[in-house]
């Protein structure tokens, strides 16, 4: 069974397709390495959130760090979504894609004064503030701009999301957010500052979460704090429960988005907070299973201890395996009838950590195309130019037709801003 989306399938002839298009044909047409996305799969994933939130005051803000291609942002904006950003560069991308800045929340622990001013001028909906010192800076920047900055405090609820340590963000030892036991004092301080207006509360406990319980625990801790803050006379208009819902890479069983949202709404209602606007910041769950990375086999290198399948994609194209030891399914785009062998799938970058998959079983020959599945999130968004490798091209399948949404980089462009010494 292939992980991910029903938009990905293998035909009776053994050909791997996305939205009915043979992936090997796309590799031949556009070259490799190549990211391919299904627009329909993204919209299907988003629709699950929208159905569950229908009839309630809400705003979905796509966490664009997962995949910030302009066509992806355009697709999500046209579907009525806002955006969760973490830099001034991401704000510039939202605007370039036609996104509405009044539907943007600005998160992140290290916002600069210049980024704050940029966001105030654009008219973002809210700043998710992560420290008391950030409150002070934002108030000063807003006053200098002649503006009032709407703020929501990101609270660290000290809830274990049960995910990889690198992508866990809700524990006391993580760098994110304001500690739960310090949050009431931080709200009082925010309300006293002249350049700020308190509008909400926010938390985000991690990424690739596959259980409901951490969300409910975090929401309960948020609502405890909402009640305490409002007893102090500070109004909380929205509750932002963050994102982080996981996807299936191998055998995970994350809850369906509409099921998770339904349980969160039930908890809000049960505690008397059903009137509040709900905000969510999904990222991976919207785009992760909508994308694949295609790569061509260059060499086969059998050995006694290990056999290596060397491909033209590398850790600079897809960082997740090297950074997180992430397991991502790898499938031949055209099945062979010869017996399978076990391979470590590795790239050409000069690092022993340059691998895409270890101990994988398939029949393959040089020139074949492999697909790394569930690569729509934290794939191209984390790509680099290490070893002066141009980044991959990107294609989106729209209404059954492939559209080139990012041209392949050229090596000369990588050093065009550099200067030789006299």
Annotated binding residues for pyridoxal 5'-phosphate, written as ranges, equal 244, 281-284, 378
Binding residues for substrate: 284, 320, 324, 351, 378
Is 350 part of the annotated catalytic residue set?
A: yes
Binding residues: 244, 281-284, 320, 324, 351, 378
The 3-state secondary structure of the chain, one letter per residue: CCCCCCCEEECCCCEEEECCEEHHHHHHHHCCCEEEEEHHHHHHHHHHHHHHHCCCCEEEEEEHHHCCCHHHHHHHHHCCCEEEECCHHHHHHHHHCCCCHHHEEECCCCCCHHHHHHHHHHCCCEEEECCHHHHHHHHHHHHHHCCCEEEEEEEECCCCCCCCHHHECCCCCCCCCEEHHHHHHHHHHHHHCCCEEEEEEECCCECCECCCHHHHHHHHHHHHHHHHHHHCCCCCCEEECCCCECCCCCCCCCCCHHHHHHHHHHHHHHCCCCCCEEEECCCHHHHHHHEEEEEEEEEEECCCCCCEEEECCCCCCCCHHHHHCCCCCEEECECCCCCCEEEEEECCCCCCCCEEEEEEEECCCCCCEEEECCCCCCCHHHCCCHHHCCCCEEEEEECCEEEEEECCCCHHHHCCCCCCCC
Active-site entry in 126, 203, 333, 350: 350
Residue with tokens 């056999």: 307
- Cα–chain center distance at 325: 18
And the tokens for 347?
Answer: 């790239």
Residue with tokens 């299904």: 38
* Cα 356 to Cα 33: distance, rounded to the nearest angstrom: 13
The residues annotated with a catalytic role in the active site are 350
């Amino acid at each position: 069974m292939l992980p991910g989306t029903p938009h990905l399938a293998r035909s009776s002839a053994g050909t791997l397709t996305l939205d009915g298009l043979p992936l090997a044909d796309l590799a031949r047409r556009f070259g490799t390495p190549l990211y391919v996305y299904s627009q329909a799969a993204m919209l299907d994933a988003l629709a699950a959130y929208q159905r569950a939130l229908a009839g309630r005051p809400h705003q979905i803000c796509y966490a664009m760090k997962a995949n910030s291609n302009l066509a992806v942002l355009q697709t999500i904006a046209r579907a009525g979504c806002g955006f969760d950003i973490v830099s001034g560069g991401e704000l510039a991308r939202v605007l370039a894609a036609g996104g509405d800045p009044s539907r943007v929340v600005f998160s992140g622990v290290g916002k600069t004064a210049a980024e704050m001013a940029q966001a105030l001028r654009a008219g973002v909906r809210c700043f998710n503030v992560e420290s008391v010192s950030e409150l002070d800076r934002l108030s000063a920047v807003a006053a200098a701009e002649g503006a009032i900055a709407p703020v929501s405090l990101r609270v660290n609820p000290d809830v274990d999301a049960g995910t990889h340590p690198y992508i866990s963000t809700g524990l006391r030892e993580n760098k994110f957010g304001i500690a739960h036991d310090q949050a009431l004092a931080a709200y009082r301080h925010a309300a006293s500052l002249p350049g700020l207006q308190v509008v909400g509360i926010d938390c985000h406990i991690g990424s690739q979460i596959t259980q409901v319980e951490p969300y409910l625990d975090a929401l309960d801790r948020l609502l405890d704090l909402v009640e305490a803050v409002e007893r102090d006379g500070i109004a909380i208009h929205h509750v932002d429960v963050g994102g982080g819902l996981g996807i299936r890479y191998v055998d995970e069983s994350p809850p369906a988005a509409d099921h998770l949202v339904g349980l969160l709404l039930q908890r809000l209602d049960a505690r008397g907070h059903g009137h509040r606007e709900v905000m969510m910041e999904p990222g991976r769950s919207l785009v992760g299973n909508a994308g694949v990375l295609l790569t061509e086999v260059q060499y086969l290198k059998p050995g006694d201890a290990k056999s290596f399948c060397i491909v033209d994609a590398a850790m600079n194209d897809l960082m997740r395996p090297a950074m997180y030891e992430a397991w991502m399914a790898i499938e031949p785009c055209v099945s062979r009838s010869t017996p399978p062998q076990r391979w470590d799938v590795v790239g050409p970058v000069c690092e022993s950590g340059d691998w895409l998959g270890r101990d994988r079983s398939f029949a393959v020959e040089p020139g074949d195309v492999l697909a790394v599945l569930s690569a729509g999130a934290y794939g191209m968004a984390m790509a680099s130019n290490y070893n002066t490798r141009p980044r991959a091209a990107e294609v989106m399948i729209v209404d059954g037709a492939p559209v080139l949404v990012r041209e392949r980089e050229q090596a000369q462009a990588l050093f065009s801003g550099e200067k030789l010494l006299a």
